[in-house]
């Protein structure tokens, strides 16, 4: 990896899949005036590189080996407010794009989108503008303009970022102790999140919660 010049936009790539990370880095390096200054596969690695490389722009995935890209975005926003963030993820845009923007990102692009969409998103976010797909832009405008839109949200939309993270881990077959260890929480806190999730999704018991979570994870994988 060559060193960015003083006039180039320094870009940090954060993705826990090395192959995807390499592809994103190559695309970024092909853009005039942009150069990847670091690659990270976890939140911890990303924070270290944020400190040492001081990127102008970070391209961040939502899922980072059990950690949340949303949490990383919030940390970047708090400590390095001048660094712009673009989310590149395979997760459902209708569920995660708005969460990403609320956390501090300027854009969200689906990994399944054509390469030119990623380049457009990259350039737009680098210039300080917001990037969303036309479909997501329309959806968010509809929510603003439609009376009672808050009450019309799906149950999944109502989950907090942490609850959604727990829900996804349940769907991947993890039990409360494993989730607690992965997220640095107490098992009691995880159980509290499970109860809140059941309430928001109108689920009656742990079996329904598990079935619902597994189905959701499978649907995400097919997108």
pLDDT in tens, 164-205: 889 988 888 888 999 998 888 899 999 999 999 999 888 888
Residue that has been written with the tokens 């995807």 in this structure: 20
CATH number of the structural domain spanning residue 89: 3.40.50.2300
Q: Strand locations in 107-174, DSSP E?
A: 107-110
SS3 14: strand
- The predicted model gives 66-80 an average pLDDT of 90
Q: Looking at 85, 117, 141, which one is the last position of a domain?
A: 141
Separation in Å, CA 57 to CA 30, 69, 91, 110: 16, 15, 21, 18
- The predicted model gives 144-168 an average pLDDT of 70
Q: Please write the tens of the pLDDT for every residue from 12-53.
A: 999 999 999 999 999 999 999 999 999 999 999 999 999 999
Judge whether 124 lies within some domain: yes
Residue 42: domain span: 9-141
Which of the given ranges, 53-57, 108-112, 213-217, has the highest pLDDT on average? Answer: 53-57
- The predicted model gives 6-17 an average pLDDT of 90
pLDDT for 186: 92
> What is the domain count for the chain?
2
Task: Check pLDDT > 80 for residue 138.
Answer: no
Question: Worst-scoring range by mean pLDDT, 44-58, 81-95, 132-146?
Answer: 132-146
Question: Worst-scoring range by mean pLDDT, 77-86, 131-140, 180-189?
Answer: 131-140
The reply to whether 91 and 194 lie within a common domain is no
pLDDT for 193: 92
Judge whether 3 lies within some domain: no
Which of 76, 10, 68 shows the shortest CA–CA distance to 37? 10
pLDDT for 152: 43
């Amino acid at each position: 990896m060559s060193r960015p010049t003083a006039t180039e936009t320094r870009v940090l790539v954060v993705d826990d899949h090395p192959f995807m990370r390499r592809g994103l880095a190559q695309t970024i390096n092909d853009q005039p005036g942009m150069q990847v200054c670091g690659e990270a596969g976890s939140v911890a690695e990303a924070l270290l590189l944020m400190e040492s490389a001081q990127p102008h722009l970070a391209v961040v995935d939502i899922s980072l080996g059990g950690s949340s890209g949303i949490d990383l975005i919030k940390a970047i926003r708090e400590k390095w407010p001048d660094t712009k963030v673009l989310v590149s993820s395979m997760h459902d845009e209708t569920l995660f794009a708005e969460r990403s923007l609320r956390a501090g990102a300027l854009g969200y692009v689906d990994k399944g989108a054509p390469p030119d969409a990623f380049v457009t998103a990259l350039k737009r976010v680098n210039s300080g503008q917001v990037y969303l797909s036309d479909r997501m832009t329309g959806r968010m405008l509809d929510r603003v303009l439609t009376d009672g839109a808050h009450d019309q949200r799906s149950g999944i939309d109502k989950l907090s970022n942490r609850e959604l993270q727990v829900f996804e881990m349940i769907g991947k077959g993890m039990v409360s102790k494993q989730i607690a260890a992965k997220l640095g929480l107490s098992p009691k806190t995880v159980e509290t999140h499970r109860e809140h999730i059941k309430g928001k999704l109108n689920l009656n018991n742990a079996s329904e919660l598990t079935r619902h979570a597994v189905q959701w994870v499978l649907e995400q994988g097919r997108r």
